[in-house]
């Protein structure tokens, strides 16, 4: 996947994210930006790393790593690692690791590790 392909999968205000606003490393499959309010749809793709601002929504397969600001929503399969700020929602498969701020909601499969601040809900 090249940078143009990635821009088509990352929307900001309903439009593809301008290629000047992010970096994409094809070798490591790493997406990085300081932009916020993104919808990132990497459905069908696994093994990616995302570094973003806040208020982002992610849809991916398994084995992804996320480093984000607050108020993000994640829908992934298993074996993902999340390092986020507060007020995030996670709907994942098994074998995930979470390190978050406060007010987070988790709905996961088995064998997950949680290191969170206060006011978190687990299902």
User: Residue 10 contacts by C-beta under 8 Å, 6 or more apart in sequence?
Assistant: 16, 17, 22, 31, 33, 38, 39, 40, 41
Q: What pTM value is reported for the model?
A: 0.91
pLDDT band of residue 117 (cuts 50, 70, 90) is confident
Confidence of residue 118 (pLDDT cuts 50, 70, 90): confident
Which pLDDT score is estimated for 27? 96
- For the stretch 17-70, pLDDT in tens is 999 999 999 999 999 999 999 999 999 999 999 999 999 999 999 999 999 999
What does the pLDDT look like over 71-105, one tens digit per residue?
A: 999 999 999 999 999 999 999 999 999 999 999 99
Q: Is 26 exposed, middle or buried (0-12, 13-18, 19+ CB in 10 A)?
A: exposed
The angle at the Cα of 12, spanning 9 to 15, to the nearest 5 degrees, equals 70
Give dist(CA 71, CA 56) in Å, integer.
Answer: 7
47 with 63: CB under 8 angstroms? yes
């Amino acid at each position: 996947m090249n940078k143009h392909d990635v821009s088509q999968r990352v929307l900001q205000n309903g439009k593809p994210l301008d290629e000047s606003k992010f970096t994409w490393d094809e070798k490591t499959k790493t997406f990085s930006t300081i932009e916020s309010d993104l919808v990132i749809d990497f459905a069908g793709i696994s093994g990616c790393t995302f570094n973003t601002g806040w208020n982002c929504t992610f849809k991916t397969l398994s084995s992804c790593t996320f480093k984000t600001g607050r108020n993000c929503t994640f829908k992934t399969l298993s074996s993902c690692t999340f390092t986020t700020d507060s007020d995030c929602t996670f709907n994942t498969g098994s074998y995930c690791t979470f390190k978050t701020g406060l007010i987070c909601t988790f709905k996961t499969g088995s064998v997950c590790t949680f290191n969170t601040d206060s006011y978190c809900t687990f299902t």
